[in-house]
Amino acid sequence: MNKRPLITVVVPSYNRANKIADTLKSIQAQTYQNWETIVVDDGSKDNTVAIVEAIAKGDNRIHVFQHERNKGAQAARNTGIKAAKGEWIAFLDSDDEWLPDSLKMRLDYALKNDFSVVYSLGYIIYEDNRQELYRLPDISKDSYRGVLAQEGPMFQSLLVKKEILEKIGYLDETAIAYQEWNTSIRLAKLCTFGFLEIPTFIYDYRTPGAISRNHSRNGRAYADIVKKFFWEMLMNVGPEGMAFHYLAITNWYRQAGALDKVKFYNGLAFLFKCFSLNIVGRKIKSALIR
């Protein structure tokens, strides 16, 4: 009987002394136990590292790497990927948790169906402690178009073969937000994603200072992704898809109160909507003439 593959869990951390222990406990509680965890501390100013080291003394599967200065979550993840001994890479942010069968279910699904990338559903906890199912679209039939049409799977749900991450040249460290979307677009160029329609993680939206809470940065990051993958998006999702993206950027900047940005991106959304209507109109006119 072949030994079950080793999974390397990569956990980027920065000033997470109040949450990191719960995150690591959720990894230790996994029903699939052939894993190693690499916590990459990204220059924390609190005692995050001391807490991780204390837990690691009782579990030699947990390892700590430290950045001397803050380089960002993507750089921390890359440090973990490069140091990984596992055939598979799973990601967990230092303020989130996995459900007990998370690794087992995703790995079993990947191996059974010969996927190099698998993602799943999860739960989200809001500021009022309300917990809801965090729904993600099924992009298994056309993964590349799927991730170009809307933001991709969350890191907490991704299980990826290390060799695929190496083939894309690791993660893009210039991405300031929507980092998993950036990563998913690049992964989907190489392989089809498997979708496990079962919750496997808990995403804590209550954490102060989380990237996802910064509206202006989210708008800028979304715009950067659309700019970086503009032609791929236009060719795959068309003018209507581009209008959808520019409206999403508009909404982020509206929440941030950046009215000049709202006007600019709302204008782009309107332009692409008009372009889409013109195309449809020409096709209808051509069909009537025939």
pLDDT cut 90: percent of the chain above it: 84
pLDDT in tens, 225-266: 999 999 999 999 999 999 999 999 999 999 999 999 999 999
Neighbours of 60 (CB within 10 A): 8
What is d(CA 88, CA 84) in angstroms, rounded to the nearest whole number?
Answer: 9
- Please state the three-class secondary structure of 20-68 as a single string: HHHHHHHHHCCCCCCEEEEEEECCCCCCHHHHHHHHHHCCCCEEEEECC
How high is the pLDDT of residue 135? 81
pLDDT at 187 over 50: yes
Would you place residue 207 in the very low, low, confident or very high pLDDT band (cuts 50, 70, 90)?
Answer: low
Q: Give me the percent of the chain exceeding a pLDDT of 70.
A: 92
| pLDDT tens, residue by residue, 96-126 | 999 999 999 999 999 999 999 999 999 999 8
pLDDT confidence band for 128 (50 / 70 / 90): confident
Average pLDDT over residues 21-33: 98
Domain ranges of the chain: 7-213, 215-289
Q: What is the pLDDT at residue 30?
A: 98
Amino acid identity for residue 148 in this structure: L
Q: Angle at which helices 215-228 and 230-256 pack, to 10 degrees?
A: 170
pLDDT (mean) for 136-146: 93
Question: What mean pLDDT comes out for the span 196-224?
Answer: 84
Specify the pLDDT at position 288.
Answer: 46
Quick one: pLDDT at residue 221? 95
Q: How confident is the model at residue 1 (pLDDT cuts 50, 70, 90)?
A: very low
Average pLDDT in the 197-222 region? 83
pLDDT by residue (tens digit) across 161-182? 999 999 999 999 999 999 999 9
CATH class for the domain made up of 7-213: alpha beta
Residue 198: per-residue pLDDT: 95
Q: Report pLDDT for 283.
A: 54
Q: Which of 191, 18, 202 is nearest to 123 (CA)?
A: 202
Dist CA 42 CA 273 (whole Å): 42
Q: Is the pLDDT of residue 53 over 70?
A: yes
- For 249, the enclosing helix (H) or strand (E) is helix 230-256
Q: What is the pLDDT of residues 264-290, one digit of tens each?
A: 999 999 998 888 766 555 554 455 455
pTM exceeds 0.75 for this model: yes
Average pLDDT score, the chain: 92
* 3: confidence class by pLDDT, cuts 50, 70, 90: confident
Comparison of pLDDT for 152 and 248, the residue scoring more = 248
Contacts of 90 (CB under 8 A, 6+ apart): 7, 8, 9, 10, 35, 103, 106, 158, 159, 160
